[in-house]
């Protein structure tokens, strides 16, 4: 009676991979074996030689690296353009001789360089006591009602992006056309040792200023405007 053949033993793929990783010189002197190895094609049915597969992998890696490099270059170009626009804006602001000119210059710069549809600069009445004429839009005197609405939009923060209802638009941007539906805004509290008001950037597009957006730009601009307001106040 013949003895049943022993079951064929197969090597565990992970063990093979581990062994080859521990013996990188295995193919030295066995170059012919490398040429005989066939591996699955990465995109179509069939097999290719190991060398062809390596070339494909290297090409894909090179393309991905090139894509990442292009993304970095594009980001660098965008940041440089942003820097130049911000520099032009700040240089224009420091030339303002009064608070109305400061607000009007800021509105123009934001519209031309940063596609900001609307803005308002709200300052306490103490900054306007010595002025012979009322403030000109987009600058407004901060009254109790506007202050309450602006504080509610900030919700205890220094700066924030939020939805802007039609009623709030009427209250906080009275010099602009009121949209039919709710828009969005970026708001920053102005302060330089003391409360100086609020800077409000607004858009009729509800997705322009989303709550998840970073407010670093608005905060930075608000810090500059606050210090320029203080300087102009000291001249009055």
pLDDT-based confidence at residue 142 (cuts at 50, 70, 90): very high
Secondary structure class of 215 (helix, strand, coil): coil
CA atoms within 13 A on the CB side of 232: 24
Q: How far apart are CA 60 and CA 133, in angstroms?
A: 68
Q: What is the pLDDT of residues 72-114, one digit of tens each?
A: 999 999 889 989 999 999 999 999 999 999 999 999 999 999 9
Q: What is the pLDDT of residues 186-196, one digit of tens each?
A: 999 999 888 89
Mind giving me the DSSP string for 110-162? HHHHH---EEEEEEEGGGTTT-SSPPPTTEEEE-HHHHHHHHHHHTTSSEEEE
Q: Which of 182, 190, 211, 217 is nearest to 120 (CA)?
A: 190
Highest mean pLDDT among 22-26, 190-194, 218-222: 218-222
Q: Is the pLDDT of residue 48 over 70?
A: no
The CATH number corresponding to 98-235 among 3.20.20.140, 3.30.450.40, 3.20.20.70, 3.40.50.300 equals 3.30.450.40
Distance of CA 231 to the CA centre of its chain: 31
Q: Is the pLDDT of residue 28 over 80?
A: no
């Amino acid at each position: 009676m013949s003895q049943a053949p022993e079951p064929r033993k197969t090597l565990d793929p992970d063990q093979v991979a581990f062994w080859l990783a521990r013996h990188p010189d295995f193919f030295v002197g066995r170059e012919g074996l490398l040429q005989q190895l066939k591996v699955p094609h990465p995109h179509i049915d069939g097999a290719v030689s190991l060398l062809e597969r390596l070339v494909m992998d290297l090409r894909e890696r090179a393309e991905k690296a090139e894509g990442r490099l292009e993304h970095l270059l594009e980001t660098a170009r965008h940041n440089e353009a942003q820097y130049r626009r911000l520099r032009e804006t700040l240089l224009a602001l420091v030339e303002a001789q009064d608070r109305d000119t400061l607000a009007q210059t800021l509105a123009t710069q934001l519209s031309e360089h940063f596609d900001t549809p609307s803005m308002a600069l709200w300052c306490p009445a103490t900054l306007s006591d010595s002025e012979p004429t009322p403030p000109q839009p987009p600058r407004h005197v901060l009254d109790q009602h506007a202050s309450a609405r602006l504080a509610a939009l900030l919700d205890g923060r220094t700066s924030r992006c939020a939805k802007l209802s039609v009623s709030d638009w009427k209250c906080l941007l009275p010099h602009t056309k009121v949209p039919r539906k709710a828009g969005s805004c970026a708001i920053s509290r102005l302060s330089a040792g003391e409360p100086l008001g609020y800077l409000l950037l607004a858009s009729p597009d509800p997705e322009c200023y989303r709550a998840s957006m970073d407010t670093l730009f608005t905060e930075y601009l608000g810090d500059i405007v606050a210090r320029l307001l203080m300087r102009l106040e000291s001249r009055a």
